[in-house]
Amino acid sequence: MGHPRHIRARRAATLIAAAALSLSAWAGAPRGKAVEPTPGELEAAKKIGEQLDALIVWSTSRVSGSHDIWIMKADGSDARPLTKSDAVDWFARFSPDGKQVIFTRSKAPWQSEMNAQYANRWDIWIINVDGTGERKLIPDATWGTWTPDGKVLFSRGGKVFTFDLGSSKEELVLDGDEVLKAGVIVQQPQMSPDGKYIAATLRGRMRETGIWSLERKSWATVGGGCQINWFPSGDRMIRMNENTGRGGTEVFAFPVKDGAPANPDAPYEELRFMDLPGARSHEYFPVISRNGRWMVWCATDRGHDHDIYDYEVFIWRIGSPHSEAARLTFHTGNDRWPDIFVIEDRSAPAEQAR
């Protein structure tokens, strides 16, 4: 028989382990509750609807405490669930024709976005925008985006593949472990509009954003931050910058040429693209519409974790004053990773913001 003190220690350890398992079983994002928009917020959203006919998809925890994919109009109206599952559905992306949406789904009831590096915990699914035809598309995969020719670009840890929807054939296009550094994690790969480059955020053994040339087989470092993405013109990009801006983050924009920043030494003021006025200015998840005239993203006024805190969806006509950005969601649950598909744009052209 063990010493009583050792027995008590083992019992305490068992209780702690049981408590940890219990917490894990109940882990998830808050469901939150709806909040009332101000008259000014309602007016801003109404003005968006007068200028733009578009659909927006995003991931929200408001129903299940996990996440479902929801869809709404550009002014925030007619919001409805597109997916309903016990899993975590996130990172939704419209197909080039706007008829389908791919998204990442967890295999367990709850997975944190911080576990996106473990591809075996996720699958990529596809669904029609009317909610029909939901099916698993790619097993053991995350960060699915569309290529210019209609394939799916996705990550498995440090490797990036394309997936052909017709043949279900996968092709390795970037082996980060081999050509960058062993143990690197490649997140959010985005192919350039001309199909020559892949922009990505690196984590694991490397921590930066950059561009991979598919022709030269070379990597060009862009900088820090994350969530690098293309303008549809292909000669300009955005990325999140951290530790600057009102809320500790802001969106940078910069020109690119031949798969690298055109001005690597651009001063800070030239890079600044969007930093929301007011307290809700901790921003992430920016995406530019395919016509290059709108940006959707999310922002919170407290906290940082992407899948837990009260991020809300915003939309902005590029080139207009930052104060004209419109908030589209009003719920204390978590909202993240929006995407936009433009049907008809009636807005007047605006000079692009620096």
* Mean predicted lDDT score pLDDT of the chain: 92
Asked if residue 10 has pLDDT above 70, the reply is no
- Residue 16 in this model has a pLDDT that exceeds 60: no
Q: Taking the C-alpha atoms of 45, 51, 55 and 61 in order, what is their torsion angle to the nearest 10 degrees?
A: -10
C-alpha distances in angstroms, 237 versus 17, 129, 254, 315? 46, 27, 6, 18
Give the pLDDT of residue 348: 77
pLDDT tens track for 31-42: 999 999 999 999
d(CA 299, CA 284): 6
Q: Can you give the pLDDT at residue 13?
A: 38
- Residues above pLDDT 70, as percent of the chain: 91
What whole-number distance in Å separates Cα of residue 300 and Cα of residue 48?
Answer: 21
- The correct CATH number of 31-343 out of 3.40.640.10, 2.120.10.30, 3.40.50.720, 3.20.20.70 is 2.120.10.30
User: Residue 248 corresponds to which tokens in the numbers above?
Assistant: 């500790």
Structure tokens at 146: 């569309």
116 backbone φψ class: left, alpha, beta (φ>0; ψ -120 to 50): alpha
The bridge status of strand 100-106 relative to strand 122-128 is antiparallel
pLDDT digits (tens, 9 = 90+) for 238-274: 999 999 999 999 999 999 999 999 999 999 999 999 9
Separation CA 200–CA 18 (nearest Å) = 39
Question: How would you list the strands of the sheet with 142-146, edge to edge?
Answer: 142-146, 152-156, 159-163, 170-175
pLDDT tens profile 285-301: 999 999 999 999 999 99
What would the mean pLDDT of 137-146 be, rounded to a whole number? 98
DSSP string, 154-205: EEETTEEEEE-TTT--EEEEEEHHHHT-TTEEEEEEEE-TTSSEEEEEEEET
Q: What one-character-per-residue DSSP string does 284-320 give? A: EEEEE-TTSSEEEEEEESS---TTTS--EEEEEETTS
**What is the pLDDT, as a whole number, of residue 338?**
98
Which residue type, as a one-letter code, is found at position 230? W
Say if residues 312 and 330 touch (Cβ distance below 8 Å).
yes
Over the stretch 198-236, which tens digit does the pLDDT of each residue have?
999 999 999 999 999 999 999 999 999 999 999 999 999
Nearest-angstrom CA–CA distance, 152 and 247: 34
Q: Give the C-alpha separation, 98 to 55, whole Å.
A: 9
Domains of the chain, by residue range, sit at: 31-343
Q: Tens digit of pLDDT for each residue in 117-131?
A: 999 999 999 999 999
In which band, very low, low, confident or very high, does the pLDDT at 351 lie, cut at 50, 70 and 90? low
Q: Are strands 100-106 and 89-94 parallel, antiparallel or unpaired?
A: antiparallel
CA distances, 118 to each of 90, 124, 142, 158, 187 (Å):
15, 13, 9, 10, 11
**Quick one: pLDDT at residue 7?**
32
